[in-house]
Amino acid sequence: MSNAKNLATFLQSGGSIAGDANFDSNTLFVDSSANRVGIGTNSPSTALDVTGTITSDGLTLDNNGSIIFNDPQATDTILIGTNDDELVIRADAGD
């Protein structure tokens, strides 16, 4: 039986998991004793711990420590990050 079929059967039966859960070799990890979730890590240190870049409509948090605000309806971008020991804030207006 495939993993997808196993998961579908589990969800349809109203199943629950006791203890930690690790999906697809740390793609998604649930630490039940600490009530934490890890994406890309099996040792989450906060309530939600993501290893890698997070992207949503209009916002990107990358693994370089930069925060990028994008206007999904235009090409305007605001970047907040660091360059060595300096804070950098840059606005790029698209034409």
Tens digit of pLDDT for each residue in 47-61? 999 998 888 877 888
Across residues 17-22, what is the average pLDDT?
82
The pLDDT value given to residue 93: 64
Average pLDDT, the chain: 80
Verdict on whether the full-model pTM lies above 0.75: no
- pLDDT-derived band at 4 (thresholds 50, 70, 90) equals low
CA pair distance 26, 95, nearest whole angstrom: 41
The pLDDT value given to residue 31: 92
CA pair distance 46, 77, nearest whole angstrom: 29
CA pair distance 19, 4, nearest whole angstrom: 21
| Residue 50 three-state SS | strand
